[in-house]
Amino acid sequence: MFMVRRRHIENVRSVTEGLDKAHEDHIAAYSRTIASGNLVDEDGRMAGVLAISGHETWEAIRHYVYEDPFTKAGAYAEIEIKELNLYLLDAAYARAPDWLLERNPDLAPRFTPVERVGGR
Protein backbone atom coordinates (compact mmCIF):
# COMPACT_ATOMS: atom_id res chain seq x y z
CA MET A 1 0.00 0.00 0.00
CA PHE A 2 1.02 3.57 -0.52
CA MET A 3 0.39 7.02 0.91
CA VAL A 4 0.14 9.73 -1.73
CA ARG A 5 0.25 13.40 -0.81
CA ARG A 6 -0.28 16.00 -3.53
CA ARG A 7 -0.05 19.71 -2.80
CA HIS A 8 -1.79 21.99 -5.29
CA ILE A 9 -0.19 24.90 -7.08
CA GLU A 10 -1.71 28.35 -6.55
CA ASN A 11 -4.77 28.82 -8.78
CA VAL A 12 -4.93 25.09 -9.54
CA ARG A 13 -8.21 25.45 -11.43
CA SER A 14 -6.49 27.56 -14.07
CA VAL A 15 -4.46 24.53 -15.21
CA THR A 16 -7.12 21.85 -14.65
CA GLU A 17 -10.00 23.63 -16.35
CA GLY A 18 -11.58 21.34 -18.94
CA LEU A 19 -9.81 18.25 -17.58
CA ASP A 20 -12.39 17.08 -15.04
CA LYS A 21 -13.87 14.33 -17.26
CA ALA A 22 -10.43 12.97 -18.22
CA HIS A 23 -9.35 13.09 -14.56
CA GLU A 24 -12.52 11.26 -13.45
CA ASP A 25 -12.05 8.64 -16.20
CA HIS A 26 -8.46 8.09 -15.07
CA ILE A 27 -9.58 7.67 -11.46
CA ALA A 28 -12.33 5.24 -12.49
CA ALA A 29 -9.86 3.14 -14.44
CA TYR A 30 -6.83 3.12 -12.12
CA SER A 31 -7.77 4.18 -8.58
CA ARG A 32 -7.28 1.76 -5.70
CA THR A 33 -8.04 4.39 -3.06
CA ILE A 34 -8.82 3.08 0.41
CA ALA A 35 -9.20 6.46 2.10
CA SER A 36 -8.57 10.05 1.11
CA GLY A 37 -9.11 13.56 2.31
CA ASN A 38 -8.41 17.14 1.42
CA LEU A 39 -5.39 18.92 2.82
CA VAL A 40 -6.34 22.41 3.97
CA ASP A 41 -4.24 25.52 4.41
CA GLU A 42 -4.21 27.90 7.40
CA ASP A 43 -7.32 29.63 6.04
CA GLY A 44 -9.27 26.38 5.67
CA ARG A 45 -9.01 26.30 1.87
CA MET A 46 -8.28 23.08 -0.01
CA ALA A 47 -4.55 22.89 -0.60
CA GLY A 48 -4.14 19.35 -1.85
CA VAL A 49 -5.03 15.72 -1.31
CA LEU A 50 -3.80 12.92 0.95
CA ALA A 51 -4.76 9.37 0.01
CA ILE A 52 -4.06 5.81 1.06
CA SER A 53 -3.95 3.58 -1.99
CA GLY A 54 -4.14 -0.18 -2.30
CA HIS A 55 -1.84 -0.36 -5.32
CA GLU A 56 0.55 -3.26 -4.93
CA THR A 57 3.59 -2.09 -6.91
CA TRP A 58 5.60 1.07 -7.42
CA GLU A 59 4.91 0.78 -11.14
CA ALA A 60 1.14 0.78 -10.57
CA ILE A 61 1.11 3.69 -8.11
CA ARG A 62 3.43 5.77 -10.29
CA HIS A 63 1.20 5.15 -13.31
CA TYR A 64 -1.87 6.16 -11.33
CA VAL A 65 -0.28 9.36 -10.02
CA TYR A 66 1.84 10.54 -12.93
CA GLU A 67 -0.47 9.61 -15.81
CA ASP A 68 -3.38 11.50 -14.22
CA PRO A 69 -4.39 14.39 -16.52
CA PHE A 70 -4.24 16.80 -13.54
CA THR A 71 -0.63 15.78 -12.84
CA LYS A 72 0.33 16.09 -16.50
CA ALA A 73 -1.22 19.58 -16.59
CA GLY A 74 0.98 20.70 -13.68
CA ALA A 75 -1.69 20.88 -10.96
CA TYR A 76 0.66 19.86 -8.15
CA ALA A 77 3.53 21.83 -6.67
CA GLU A 78 4.64 18.74 -4.77
CA ILE A 79 3.92 15.01 -4.94
CA GLU A 80 5.07 12.58 -2.28
CA ILE A 81 4.58 8.81 -2.50
CA LYS A 82 5.55 6.58 0.44
CA GLU A 83 5.14 2.84 0.76
CA LEU A 84 3.47 1.81 4.00
CA ASN A 85 2.01 -1.04 5.98
CA LEU A 86 -1.56 -0.27 6.91
CA TYR A 87 -3.43 -2.19 9.54
CA LEU A 88 -7.04 -2.54 8.54
CA LEU A 89 -9.47 -2.64 11.42
CA ASP A 90 -11.95 -5.51 11.24
CA ALA A 91 -10.31 -6.87 8.10
CA ALA A 92 -9.95 -10.58 7.44
CA TYR A 93 -6.21 -10.16 8.03
CA ALA A 94 -6.63 -8.25 11.28
CA ARG A 95 -3.29 -7.35 12.78
CA ALA A 96 -2.59 -4.43 15.04
CA PRO A 97 0.56 -2.80 16.44
CA ASP A 98 1.25 -3.16 20.16
CA TRP A 99 0.61 0.53 20.84
CA LEU A 100 -2.94 0.24 19.50
CA LEU A 101 -3.71 -2.78 21.67
CA GLU A 102 -2.10 -1.16 24.72
CA ARG A 103 -4.27 1.95 24.31
CA ASN A 104 -7.40 -0.08 23.52
CA PRO A 105 -7.19 -3.39 25.45
CA ASP A 106 -10.85 -4.13 24.69
CA LEU A 107 -9.86 -4.56 21.01
CA ALA A 108 -7.24 -7.24 21.73
CA PRO A 109 -9.54 -10.23 21.06
CA ARG A 110 -10.20 -8.92 17.54
CA PHE A 111 -6.55 -8.57 16.50
CA THR A 112 -3.31 -10.45 16.20
CA PRO A 113 -0.32 -8.48 17.56
CA VAL A 114 2.29 -7.47 15.00
CA GLU A 115 5.85 -8.59 15.64
CA ARG A 116 8.23 -5.77 14.80
CA VAL A 117 11.68 -6.47 13.43
CA GLY A 118 14.09 -3.54 13.53
CA GLY A 119 12.80 -0.09 12.75
CA ARG A 120 11.84 2.51 15.33
Q: Where are the domains of the chain?
A: 2-83, 87-120
- Whether this model's pTM surpasses 0.75: no
Residue 10, pLDDT score: 92
Q: What percent of the chain has pLDDT over 90?
A: 58
Buried b (16+ CB within 10 A) or exposed e, 46-80: ebbbebbbebeeeeebeebbeebbbbebebbeeee
pLDDT digits (tens, 9 = 90+) for 71-95: 999 999 999 999 987 665 545 445 6
2-83 CATH, one of 3.10.129.10, 3.30.70.141, 3.30.70.1060, 1.10.10.10: 3.30.70.1060
